Structure 1
């Protein structure tokens, strides 16, 4: 079967590999779509910034490169291993791709998404979504209901990143939000905030095409922070009070510092994006308004369930920001995304 495999920095190849066979507790999937994620770009261009160690076998999966990519994916169950219950051949599913140890401090308190040895199917495992077939533990599978197709199913993972961020932020209906960055996660934040009853959302994005995309989805308050007056837009939207919760989906230090300065008293900044570079930041910015700053990572299984339910209710729309490529065009798509061209690219498997 064809598979997209990461070998080393800027070395990804489309290769023929053997089809996997499901072991006990596993399901074999015929993959449908797999999204190209910002994490894939980190792995491809700057693996040392990805938070993943490719120099030794993964402590949970034992995997090393070459690694089949694709951790945002959907598929159809075609075969079951011994001892699998609750899943049937023919089920259409999205995959919660997290491997966790179950014993570290994070796992013991239920924060398996921050496991000290965490891994992801399609980043540090034997297999991934950018192949014709893969096998995964059946416990990772989340069924897609009627009305949520495989294309939308491949978006559950990135939308769950945003959902988890909004859920963790503690924001309430009637409060105000700022989203810095209108890439796929920023758009996911927009959808999640609206689904949770947050009506006043200001979006900050320097890219004209991304501003147009999120505005086309219904965002009424979209500002170019490089040429527009973001502070004035926030003041007008909040009656001068400031933003209750800001989300950094940009991964840029300037966006973080700007967002902190726009927070209301007791406001909160949630860092969702990975930053390739550090930046200068004076913590005194947080002191006088008793504001706070926190980070979030990935998602929990309940975030997948919540996103799938919201998709079934029609709360997500792919118009204007999702496109598709074939397996042979993956490396070119990496380059386009790295240069800022394109939004969300799904690989047709």
Structure 2
């Protein structure tokens, strides 16, 4: 079969051995594959990514001299089943799959593996237990966005944001746009988005951001129609003074119970939630310096370089910092159905489609945020330019 193979930073289309489904696996004809920003990074920073992966026990990440077929955003048609499968779908059924398979007890991440092929190919093997049928006649070009949108859904769920809290999304690339779409689906009433790119700001608005700002001309944290109740340390301290003066006027009142309750509530729905979706050095520290008191910061942007920040900024403001990656099978399934039933419209994200021979041009085009957000690969297409 044909596949787009990367080695030493070069992308070439050539014939590779066709994969065969093993126990518990399904062979798919790839209908669409999505190009992710992590693929762009892996092309030129493979050795660094391999070193980082090894620190968490994943040793199958390719190095620059290895041959790898990228592609972890997968939608395809069922062709053949391996042994021990339940054969849930008839041949030709359109499905999406999480990008993981297992041979014996050894797991592999599709698209970032030296030993298994990703979705930049005519065919791919996926795990039946991690495969889901596409409902409601949803087209492949939308179904394939399940994977990147699930990343956004996981970040939203991890934040535990409520509808009344204000969300700030810093960076409106594919991850930030997915977060915005999923915040809207969750019913969050106020979403502030910030990005340098006019095209990305436009997409942020189309996906549900209520306020969109250019950080060069406006501070996103000062752009909310519902500003935080506490903005400075003196305001916070004065709240304590005022509360104690009122509580201690009442004789024999167990005033400390009020503080226990307040500690449990942590100001409830007034706490801002900030999603860092840029992933460049210095961004976390910048957000810690600018975010309101008692914010929750969810780091969803993948910074691939060493970074530093000032813990005292987070400590002084009592900011919670969380890190988010991936999704679980339930989140993946729920995302698929939100796309299929129209709760989330992913169509603004898709800005181009190419065949395998257009992958090189697509990688170049994605370097310009004014031109493209998400480019898909259709292995049956002859298109060489997005």
Stretch of structure 1 that moved more, 326-335 or 252-261: 252-261
Instruction: State the partner residue of 2:133.
Output: 143
Q: What is the alpha-carbon distance in structure 2 between the residues aligned to residue 272 and residue 344 of structure 1?
A: 18
Aligned partners of 2:297 and 2:322 also within 8 Å:
yes
Identify, as 1 or 2, the structure richer in helix.
2
Instruction: State the partner residue of 2:71.
Output: 70
Q: What is the alpha-carbon distance in structure 2 between the residues aligned to residue 303 and residue 102 of structure 1?
A: 25
How far has the Cα of 1:261 moved from its partner? 3.6
1:85-140 CA-to-partner distances (Å, cap 9, x unmatched) read 1522333111111357999xxxxxxxxxxxxx974112214111111111122122
Report the CA distance shift for 1:186/1:41 in structure 2 as closer, same or farther (over 3 A).
same
1:228-276 CA-to-partner distances (Å, cap 9, x unmatched) read 2323203x43355566211111113444334324444432111111113
Unpaired runs of 5+ residues, structure 1, are 104-116
Unpaired runs of 5+ residues, structure 2, are 232-270, 380-386
Instruction: State the partner residue of 1:308.
Output: 336
Corresponding residue pairs, total: 332
Q: What is the alpha-carbon distance in structure 2 between the residues aligned to residue 81 and residue 102 of structure 1?
A: 13
Q: How much is the aligned-residue C-alpha RMSD, in angstroms?
A: 2.7
Larger radius of gyration: 2
Report the CA distance shift for 1:313/1:135 in structure 2 as closer, same or farther (over 3 A).
same
Q: How does the TM-score come out when normalised to structure 1?
A: 0.86
Q: What is the alpha-carbon distance in structure 2 between the residues aligned to residue 59 and residue 51 of structure 1?
A: 8
Instruction: State the partner residue of 1:33.
Output: 32
Aligned partners of 1:245 and 1:263 also within 8 Å:
no
- Residue 120 of structure 2, aligned match among 120, 130, 141: 130
Three-state SS of the structure 2 residue aligned to 1:237 is: coil
Q: What is the alpha-carbon distance in structure 2 between the residues aligned to residue 25 and residue 129 of structure 1?
A: 19
Instruction: State the partner residue of 2:227.
Output: 238
- Residue 174 of structure 2, aligned match among 184, 196, 209: 184
- Residue 357 of structure 2, aligned match among 323, 328, 335: 328
Instruction: State the partner residue of 2:4.
Output: 4
Q: What is the alpha-carbon distance in structure 2 between the residues aligned to residue 250 and residue 325 of structure 1?
A: 26
Aligned partners of 1:60 and 1:119 also within 8 Å:
no
Q: What is the alpha-carbon distance in structure 2 between the residues aligned to residue 48 and residue 277 of structure 1?
A: 12
How far has the Cα of 1:300 moved from its partner? 1.2
